[in-house]
Structure 1
Amino acid sequence: MSSLIESSRKMYEVIAVTGTMKYMALELLLNIRENKFTQPQKYRHDLESFFYILVVGCMCYGRDSKVEPTHLEQWLTEPARSNYESELSHIIQHFDVMILGYFPPAFDGAKKLASNLHKTLFGQNINQFGIDESFDDLYNPIISAFNETIDEIVEEPLEKIKETKTSKTSAVDLPEGRKRQRI
């Protein structure tokens, strides 16, 4: 569900912030909370929104519906103050417990990616989301995190295939005098 939040300071000037509240960047939520609608959209906001889509997807899919992460509903409430405070708490202060702790086993491989993206976007400084980084400060580490995860995903099945082939070859009992052939 996408939201349009408008501020009409003058009849001819309308500044609007659009997006889905649940996936909106913290800096934008903070400005909405404070009735400041002049924050320009930055590429950093898009990367942060993508991060929220990724973690929410990992938290909500591949699990029993009886144990869905209901605390994410707090990211959709009105007023914007509640959205901001809930998202800030879950993402910045309690990331390991409130976000990674809800990844089902099917998404264990994505935990490291989520952690790396979290570190890139928010660093060690709670207020880093307001810093105007250069393009490369965010883009390159995010691409590296994805490449690393993709490499791990690709290598894992290859290792299993190698193990399977090795175990099949060594487990075969051959008649005396026959040479063992690799599969």
Structure 2
Amino acid sequence: MRRNEHLARRSTISSEYIYKTSFGHLRKDSFELQNKEETIYYYVHEYPDWVNAVVLTKDKQILLVEQYRHPGNDFFLEVPAGKVEQGESYEEGIIREVQEETGYTSLKKPILLGEFMVNPATQTNKVITFLILDAFETSSQNLDDNEDVKVKTFPFDAMEELIEDKKITQLFTVSAYFLAKNYLS
């Protein structure tokens, strides 16, 4: 039996956009389950795929960015991340995002750690996580007008303490750290 054979199939009746923005879209779908006659409505958030990276310098310092996140109503320490631009590969996207947010780059190719659905219950996008080794500063930040990002460095070995002390609470940063730790061990 295939993985999803036990699930009821559904047939989409209609899709309509509630709104579209440069950041993402909200779509309302109506569908029927194969074995039921009622119409079900579902709201789907369409976003471009996101990339993030654990970025380590030659002396094993991890680069984190601190920025205010309005929905979270606080400042958050995170690994560098962002959306993939149209026509850009995931690798190109993370190299660009790291350079823009931190001013750092590496001569080594980013190492793919994983590709995960962000929240398949409501969103269409994935987050693709990389490890970047031997990063070094090459320029100043190149931030968008609405970004205020501070670059911070910590010993990679201090990350678990930052997580335990709730100084890092962003889930993508926590999962990226543990993926990198596993890869490096």
Task: State the TM-score, normalized to the length of structure 2.
Answer: 0.26
More strand by share: 2
More helix by share: 1
Greater Rg, structure 1 or structure 2?
1
Task: State the TM-score, normalized to the length of structure 1.
Answer: 0.26
